[in-house]
Amino acid sequence: MQEIVLETNHPYHLPPEWAKQSGVMLTWPHRETIWAETLEDIDHVLVAVAKQITCREKLVISCFDQSHLQHINTLLKSGGVAVNNVAMYVAPCNDIWVRDHGPLSILHQHKTILLDFIFNGWGNKYPCANDNEITRSLHAQHAFGSTHLKSVEMVLEGGAIEVDGKGTLLTTSRCLLAKTRNPSMAKSEIIQQLQQLLGIKKILWLNHGYLAGDDTDGHIDTLARFTDPHTICYTRCTDKKDEHYTALCAMENELHTFTDYQNNPYQCVPLPWPQARYANDDGRRLPLTYANFLIINDAVLVPTYDDPADTEALNILAACFKEREIIGINCLPVIQWYGSLHCMTMQLPLGVLS
């Protein structure tokens, strides 16, 4: 891997998710992961996601071994996926959450650089050695073409940050400042790194909001998302008897105090509250959220949960993304392991894939 030295006298830019994309990454689970007993269910979800992506852009898939690669290829073909837009590589994983172990793509002087931050299993909660190697393994196999890769000695997960494309970053203090991630870094040092590496000028810190069952210490992509530089969609709980009500109301109040890059109040759009569901494995409440959508070229893929609120969520997001097709993806099999659609995908902006 070629070592890239970032020049601090030239601006960097982390593009927003709605910027034109060259492709999306998936990390496909296998029998050596926690998904072993539900592989057929999760395979169906991943094939559905792959079909929508490959209609519009390319797809990069990490596989366990050659046999697994062939199995996935068979699944994709039988599911009507445009396999000519799929590239598969052997890069074994611990889990599927590529949003957190995949690279962040920054633009610098009209070129793209992939930043490979450390992934430590959300504060050393879970085994993650294989996941932390996937980006470097893919790069060594030329999965990203000639795009340069830089390793960064800082723990940062893609699900922990949201950007508006205008220099503003939205995050949660509970996650980004967790001492299980960067214990030797003060808040000021973390801010400096985000400013320098991602081109951030303004950080909006949410101090409230959580979802039961979330193992990430409050990833922003489960709570609040930019839909454009002036609009934030967010998870709202309207049930006063629910354990989330107080914290999510406090988060809602915080969001209404934030201003955009032009110092105007955001348009804050609430997303509906799905009914409680619980894990088959241990009975824990699951972190269902409609905020975990994925923006791709000309479409938005939205997690659904066979819930009465699904239709309302799709309609609300259709109003936010008037120029994009809104497509629901049944994510009940995914949420059983405490993540959803955005968590299991990572977009690559135009210029990364040839």
Is 218 in contact with 174 (CB distance < 8 Å)? yes
Helix-strand-coil percent breakdown of the chain, rounded to 5?
A: 30, 25, 45
Quick check: 7 pLDDT over 70? Answer: no
User: Given this model, what pLDDT does residue 109 score?
Assistant: 84
Q: Which of 273, 265, 269, 151 is nearest to 212 (CA)?
A: 273
Q: Which of 347, 338, 251 is nearest to 303 (CA)?
A: 338
User: Given this model, what pLDDT does residue 11 score?
Assistant: 78
4, part of any domain: no
For 209-221, what is the mean pLDDT? 97
Q: Which of 53, 138, 126, 45 is nearest to 89 (CA)?
A: 138
Quick check: 311 pLDDT over 70? Answer: yes
Residues of the domain holding 306: 12-349
The residue behind tokens 């992509």 is 221
Is 75 in contact with 47 (CB distance < 8 Å)? yes
Q: What is the pLDDT of residues 170-207, one digit of tens each?
A: 999 999 999 999 999 999 999 999 999 999 999 999 99
CATH of the domain at 256: 3.75.10.10
Backbone CA torsion sign across 172, 173, 179, 185: positive
6, part of any domain: no
Angle, alpha carbons 164-169-172 (nearest 5°): 130
State how many domains the chain has.
1
What global pTM score does this model have? 0.96
Quick check: 135 pLDDT over 80? Answer: yes
Q: Which of 170, 179, 176, 161 is nearest to 258 (CA)?
A: 170
7, part of any domain: no
For 277-287, what is the mean pLDDT? 94
User: Given this model, what pLDDT does residue 1 score?
Assistant: 32
User: Given this model, what pLDDT does residue 255 score?
Assistant: 98
The encoded tokens of residue 301 equal: 């893929």
pLDDT band at 9 (very low <50, low <70, confident <90, very high): low
User: Given this model, what pLDDT does residue 281 score?
Assistant: 85
User: Given this model, what pLDDT does residue 6 score?
Assistant: 44
The set of residues, in sequence order, having a beta carbon less than 8 Å from that of 271 and lying 6+ positions away, is 233, 234, 235, 236, 289, 290, 291, 313, 316, 317
DSSP output for 86-107 = EEEEE---S-S-HHHHSPEEEE
Quick check: 110 pLDDT over 90? Answer: no
User: Given this model, what pLDDT does residue 10 score?
Assistant: 54
User: Given this model, what pLDDT does residue 5 score?
Assistant: 39
Between the CA of residue 77 and those of 18, 48, 51, 84, what are the distances in Å? 28, 12, 10, 10
Quick check: 82 pLDDT over 50? Answer: yes
2, part of any domain: no
275, part of any domain: yes
For 69-76, what is the mean pLDDT? 98
Is 33 in contact with 68 (CB distance < 8 Å)? no
56, part of any domain: yes
277, part of any domain: yes
1, part of any domain: no
User: Given this model, what pLDDT does residue 3 score?
Assistant: 36
User: Given this model, what pLDDT does residue 4 score?
Assistant: 39
